[in-house]
A = this chain, B = another copy of it.
Amino acid sequence: MTDAPLAPGSTIGILGGGQLGRMLSLAASRLGFDVVILDPEDNSPAGRVSRGQIVAAYDDPVALNVFGRVCDVVTFEFENVPASSMERLAEAGARVAPGPVALAVAQDRVDEKTFLNGVGATTVDFVPVETLNDLTAAIETLGCPALLKTRREGYDGKGQVWIKSPKDAAKAFEAIGGRPAILEARADFVRELSIIAARGRDGATAIYPLGENKHAGGVLRTTVAPAEVDVKTERRARAIARAVLDGLDYVGVIGIELFDLGSGKLLVNEIAPRVHNTGHWTQDGCVCDQFEQHIRAVAGWPLGPTAPHARVEMQNLLGDEVDQWAKLAGKADVRLHLYGKAEARPGRKMAHVNKVRPL
């Protein structure tokens, strides 16, 4: 497999046809690539703006073989793709980025936190939990409140439950299905930050300014970026990003969620080995947004600039909030990004808006 940058006209495959895949596809098209989506849902948001879509399960061996053959490089919009799928793609001749190590680490919360602390990107204290006995012991170690999460899967607040008292242990363990889990100590943070960063095939990195995030019910509501942070915090966040990227020998864009403990002290909450909701502000705040940046990285292109030209407040539109599109379309400082989803189920991410302000 050559290490030359992927020529325009080549085909980029994306596992997952949701909004992240859609925005990746649009960015790839701007650079002259063809895009093919693999997603079990026919006419997915990303499939509708791409050269084609293979409608199949993410672990369908026949579909993966075809997908791997038609694509020069394959990337993913979500990290819960089976490792065996990645192996099949590689066998079929596709380069996969980010690579299997990043995927494996991001799929298991214990492995993820172990890796992070190993590269100096400190997290909250945590204890792996396999049984109810483990959980009881872990609560003794970490105290209450503590957060119980499944080791694998779960996003946007799903698969996790707060334990406020030792007597909640059994109920909490049942709530997450009695599956292998992790108990995390509560972070005493003043705010949530995130940093979007990219690493190219040559090891070069490109890091965007920090964003400040607000969640509700486990789901991101707003990001304001560039966040107002002191030099020490900015420098620490960038060091964390570089340590994570290099530690994973990463290729692509990564989203790193941080707890800001104040006075320049940061803990890593979690990493997502893909373009990230807290990076959507870059679409209207930077000339090279996170989606183009990711495509550049996985295609072996040089990374693009990350300097902002505006301050952006990104707001997610969930469920029927998307019905505000007509009102929002009339605001001169608001940039609308709609995902082309037909059904506005409660809490579903339907669109986001970027409110653009001078720096």
Q: Interface of A with B (CB < 8 Å)?
A: 5, 7-9, 22, 25-26, 29-35, 48-51, 284, 287-288, 296, 301-302, 304-305, 309-310, 322, 325-326, 329-330, 332-333, 335-340, 342, 351, 356
Contacts and interface: CB of A to CB of B under 8 A. Distances in A.
Nearest to A342: B9
A27 B135 CA distance: 51
Contacts of A302: 329-330
A329 B5 contact: yes
Nearest to A8: B338
Nearest to A27: B26
Nearest to A336: B31
Nearest to A296: B329
Given A8-B351, A29-B48, A32-B336, 11 more contacts: A5-B329, A7-B325, A8-B340, A26-B30, A30-B338, A31-B338, A35-B49, A287-B356, A302-B329, A305-B333, A309-B309
B32 A29 contact: no
A205 to B, nearest CB: 14
A32 B351 contact: yes
A325 B51 contact: no
Given A34-B48, A305-B332, A340-B34, A284 B284 contact: no
A213 to B, nearest CB: 22
B29 A49 contact: yes
Contacts of A34: 48, 340
Contacts of A335: 287-288
Contacts of A304: 332
B309 A340 contact: no
A332 B339 CA distance: 29
A51 B51 contact: no
A207 to B, nearest CB: 14
Contacts of A50: 49
B305 A340 contact: no
A74 B346 CA distance: 33
Residue of A8, A22, A351 with most chain B CB atoms under a 10 A cut-off: A8
A268 B48 CA distance: 40
Contacts of A22: 29
A332 B351 CA distance: 30
Contacts of A7: 325
Contacts of A339: 32
A5 B326 contact: yes
A36 to B, nearest CB: 11
A90 B302 CA distance: 47
